[in-house]
Structure 1
Amino acid sequence: MKKIFLTLFLLLVLFFCSFPVFAQVPKEETLEGKIVSIKEEKEIKVMGKKQLYQKLELQITKGSLKNKIVTIESGNIPLANIQKYYRNDKVTINYSKDNNGKEAFYIKDYIRRTPLLVLFIIFIVLTIFIAKIRGLMSLLGMIFSFLMIFFSILPNILNGANPILAVILASLFIVPVTFYLSHGFNKKTTVAIFGTCISLVATGLLATVFIELTKLTGFTSEEAGFLQVFNQRSINMKGILLAGIIIGALGVLDDITISQAAVVFQLKETNRRLTQKELYNQAMNVGQDHISSMVNTLVLVYAGAALPLFLLFVHNPHSFSEVINYEMIAEEIVRTLVGSIGLILAVPITTYFAVKISS
């Protein structure tokens, strides 16, 4: 009984003593500001390494301290990437204030909305100007895809749904809507939809098998760790990895399935006396060119996205056979090869359906 009372007493002490600790947690806010002047700029040594130091005067342009002038030091702590700021640079600022009224400011990042918006407008204008009505319809399809991703796939995954099931169900809507919007209601588009869906299933099955065989967990990025820490529900990171592979393949399959279906229908229209076998063989001759170009494109796209990882192979003290076992490297290899195999399979599958329907 004494032990029970002693345990309860200790728990109460810890409970009440924890209040001051929680009370000291500073309140944080993200502000926006503009650098109005550089009060000091020099090179200093931090932990034996030279780096740029700046004392900046900023005007807050958005947030609870709007129009207030604050002074922020940059480069006074050791960082791998010290930015050099200039007058009129627009930045985001982390602002915190503890219970004693002590304020702290530091620059988080640049504000990039304006150049990103300009780039997006250039993309839209060029798409509509060059592709005309087809370009406009493809933009509508792109918007629909984003809506499905942000309002269907992502919320379902965050709510604990199976990521693979969420992506596959969304794809059943994304594929026909985007294809028909971009390419019109015709047999060619319908064939491409069938070819894409079957290729997606094959890609998903292949990815599932090799994610299991290579023992991938999906925890190779910082984002994966943050998701597990800050999300209240448990998320299947392995499923998210697989879902990402399927979405990536979906983006590439559109081009090759439509192109291959168009080749078959064009060949049939040019020479209606072609047998199904002759039509298939001639279409596959063109399909082989599609495969060679698209596989190389896909590999380069993935390589560009994972370029920092590939630097591990350069000047690495470990052997190739050891480095290739790193999960982050293995994940990129599986992603690239599975996507490429799905792309390769799409050509004969789409060609077969196109030959049957065109005949």
Structure 2
Amino acid sequence: MNRKKRILLGLVVAGLMLLGVGSGVKAQSVASNGNEEMKTLEGEVVEVVEEKLLSDENGEERYWQVLAVRVTRGELVGEVVRVENGSEMMSSLERYEVGDLVMVSWSKDVEGGDIFYITDYVRRNALFWLFVIFVLMVVMISRWQGVSSLLGMAVSFGVIFKFVLPRIAAGDDPVVVAILGSLVIIPATFLLSHGVNRKTWVAVAGTLIALVVTGVMASVFVKAANLTGFASEEAGFLRAYNPGLVNIKGILLAGIIIGVLGVLDDITVSQSGIVEQLKKANSKLKAGELYRQAMVVGKDHIASMVNTLILVYTGAALPLLLLFVDNPRPFVEIVNYEIIADEVVRTLVGSIGLMLAVPITTMIAAVVVEEK
């Protein structure tokens, strides 16, 4: 399959996936809170009508503001509404300025009067331009292969949002759903990104085997560590929203599987490619020698990748880790908290899966190349 056909196939698959996502996901701007109907508007702060610096009995300071917000999206488009901000002490309280784009919740009080309050910033513009820069960098540096990889990314998102998330939300086993989704994501994204060739097929095989091993280990150690999956607030919200329907522990396992999947691509394709290049450089090399020489590079790959994983997880959990700095409680007690144990299991199981992917893929590649 040549490059143009590969890209055309990717466009068709990605288009079908995204059309499915678009038809299956509907934006909701109305929420029900008891008997009170709450609607979401978007607007721009056009004036700070009044502002005061207040402090409570603990010395905590906050700004109280009355803002004029012009509605730019929603039922009241074009109207200017007055919004009070800072009447209650909250940890996420912001001080808004003229020009800020904000999300506004609109509801009615018992007497039918309008109640407006700001819930968040509108961030779409920043996210859009960041995505544009990302796409341009991929295309400029990787050219057509970069375009193919972007199509592979679209397929991954399509599978996750059209199949994985809806099936988990419907009550299916999250681990089974994640594995089935991976069976579609792995070949589709690998073939689009790296072409239809022996190197890619070897990487697909190595990735699938390593993923199964990772899933088994995750299941064993999540059970051994008695993890429930309720370490995060989001899990509690899911339980309250769909009581008894979603398997929270299964979501923890599925998250580990999908998280590792994103890194396996790099390792398995690289090791497969190294074996091929060694064979081209010396056609007399046998499978055992090919394996040994490729593993010299593979060991460096393992060392750098494990360190990368540790730093990625540490960066994501940095606010949590800061809570334990200078904590009087001993480490042996802290590590037992589920919120910490979750991250330890996620990091170590993921790292073990990545390490195993290197020898597995290298061995497969060495055997396949020798039998050519």
Q: State whether TM-score is above 0.5.
A: yes
- C-alpha deviation, 1:42, in angstroms: 2.4
Structure 1 residues not aligned, in runs of 5+: 1-21
Q: Partners in 2 of 1:27 and 1:324 — Cα distance?
A: 44
Identity, % of aligned positions: 52
Residue 44 of structure 1: aligned partner: 54
2:328 is the alignment partner of 1:317: yes
Q: Which residue of 2 aligns with 1:35?
A: 45
Q: Which amino acid aligns with 1:341?
A: I
Name the stretch that deviates more: 149-158 or 99-108.
99-108
5 Å-filtered alignment, 1:1-359, equals: 25-48=35-58, 49-231=60-242, 234-359=245-370
Residue by residue over 1:221-266, the C-alpha shift from the partner in whole angstroms, topping out at 9 and shown as x without a partner, is 1111111111266110110000000000000000000000000010
Task: State the Cα RMSD in Å.
Answer: 1.5
- More divergent stretch after superposition (40-49 vs 128-137): 40-49
Task: Give the drift of 1:27.
Answer: 1.6
Shift of 1:24: 7.9
TM-score normalised by length of structure 1: 0.91
| Cα drift, residue 70 of structure 1 | 1.6
Worse overlay, 51-60 or 253-262? 51-60
Deviations 1:108-144 (A, max 9, x none): 0000111110110111111011100100000000000
Q: Comparing 68-77 with 196-205, which one deviates more in the overlay?
A: 68-77
1:32–1:141 distance in 2 versus 1, CA, 3 Å: same
Match of 1:6 in 2: none
Larger of the two Rg values belongs to structure? 1
Looking at structure 2, the residues matched to 207 and 151 of structure 1 have their Cα atoms a distance apart, in angstroms, of 25
Instruction: Say if 1:226 and 1:208 are closer, same or farther in 2 by CA, change over 3 A.
Output: same
Q: Which has the higher contact order (CA 8 A, sep 6+)?
A: 2
Q: Unaligned stretches of 5+ in structure 2?
A: 1-31
TM-score w.r.t. the length of structure 2 is 0.88
Paired amino acid for 1:138: S
> What is the alpha-carbon distance in structure 1 between the residues aligned to residue 132 and residue 289 of structure 2?
46
CA contact (8 A) 1:29 1:95 kept: yes
Q: 1:34 to 1:23 in 2, by over 3 A?
A: closer
Provide the rounded CA distance (Å) in 2 between the counterparts of 1:253 and 1:234: 31
